Amino acid sequence: MGIEQVLFELLSTLVTIIIMVILLGYIRDKIQRCEKEGKEKRGWLLVEVAVILAISVFVPYKLLGFWIGYTLGLGLGIILLAIAAFLSIYFMLAPNNCSFTFVKEGTVKYIVKGDKFERCLIQWEGYTFDYSKPHPEKWNVIKGKEPWHPLGGLRSFRWPIDDIHIYQFSWTGVTENRKPQPHEKVWLDYMLLKDDVYLCVVSKAEDKDLIPLDLRIFLTIRIVNPYKSKFAVQNWLETVINRMEPSIRQYVAQYSFEELIPKKQIVGGEMWNKLKETGLIGRMEDPEDQKGEFINRYGVEVRAIEVQDISPPEGLQKIILAKTTAEREAAAEIAKARGDRQATIIRAKGEEKRLGTVYKKIGEFGDLGKLVRTLEAVEESNLAASIAVQAIPGLPEILRGIFGKTPEEATLKEIRELREIVEKILKTQGKK
């Protein structure tokens, strides 16, 4: 092969590669436009993958073939083709449900043909479908082992003949800190099989006193037959809540608001039992005739009911708050009154004991008239008082016994108090 021919081959190869790259850019632009406008993009996505695969084979075969030989170049191209194909499937086709899809753990996806249900794809460790039963019971989720899938949740289907069913769904979930989390008209391409908690609000349910109450209820629900929950009912969550609501209202009507509040923790269990009695709910492990209508018709198992909040009207809330506040204030006043009464009793006993000591000491003195005159002298002159007190036998002992002080330490107030007590005693005895 002459040099001119080699250069021509090399130039034509480079031109072909440049054209492919430009074509790749054009296709990528088309895909981005489809994404912005909400149009179908998977056709362009397949074309993009085809161009990428062509480049992965053409480049090593044509460029490297000049130096290492076309056979080796082709072998290298095939290796690159396999790598590019896997990466394209994993990062481009499967995320967009184009001939391949990812089925996440604990979920199921629907395969439809012309919007007609064909089959389900499940990925949940330890669970499979009951393939031994006829349709639609064959889509019951049971414990078992699914046929081996070498790539785990990566599955294939025959697009565009078959497709993944996509639908809109609205619900209010519950976060880890037990706060409502609304989801409005979210587009989904899967159905969750694992237990999940949904918020149910029952407004103005009248208690037995005809007081309208608002209930916030957490429903723990699991899908046990994805075909029934999607295609046997228009909106399984809305239907379940609407069917449960009358029974919940009947339950509330049996009690007053004051009776419901203390037993809020067990109200949910009692509601579940009442719904069980009506034949609406049951357990998947129950006998066939006891599973309940939700399982048999809708493929939905209500596993638990928890009443999160029971709220009366705003006006009644204010009344209840005022009543509670008044009761607390009254209890505080009663406790304070009891404390004051106890303190008064203790003070009275202390005063009684002190007066007993005072009367005893005064009684030991003898001449009470002399004691009164002495105390009057003490009040008139501190200096004279000190001399008089020391001169009268027994008076210093009285001051020490009653006030715990020496004559020099006693104050005029204490001297006056002692004199008034003595005068009172003399008046009682009629000797003053």
| Domain ranges across the chain | 3-96, 100-163, 170-312, 339-429
Can you say how many angstroms the Cα of residue 204 is from the centroid of all Cα atoms in its chain? Answer: 24
Residue 415 burial (CB < 10 Å; 0-12/13-18/19+)? Answer: buried
Residue reference for tokens 């075969």: 61
Instruction: Return the CATH number of the domain spanning residue range 170-312.
Output: 3.30.479.30
Mean pLDDT of successive 10-residue stretches along the chain, which has 432 residues: 67 83 91 89 92 87 69 84 93 94 96 94 95 94 91 92 95 90 93 96 90 93 97 95 95 90 90 94 91 95 94 66 62 69 62 53 56 63 51 58 60 68 65 46
The 3-state DSSP class for residue 163 equals strand
What pLDDT, on a 0 to 100 scale, did the predictor assign at position 172? 94
Comparing C-alpha atoms, which of 16, 89, 5 is closest to residue 57?
Answer: 16
Question: In this predicted structure, what is the pLDDT of residue 384?
Answer: 45
In sequence order, what are the residues at sequence separation of 6 or more whose Cβ sits closer than 8 angstroms to the Cβ of residue 411?
none
- In 130-211, the DSSP E strands lie at 141-143, 154-156, 163-164, 167-174, 180-188, 191-192, 196-206
Burial (Cβ within 10 Å: 0-12, 13-18, ≥19) of residue 289: exposed
pLDDT at position 148: 87
Integer CA distances (angstroms), 290 to 31, 199, 261, 279, in order: 52, 26, 31, 7
pLDDT at 15: 84
CA atoms of 305 and 111, how far apart (whole Å): 33
Q: pTM of this prediction?
A: 0.69
Pairing outcome for strands 167-174 and 116-123: unpaired
Provide the b/e sequence for 253-271 (b: ≥16 CB within 10 Å). Answer: eebebeebeeeeeebbeeb
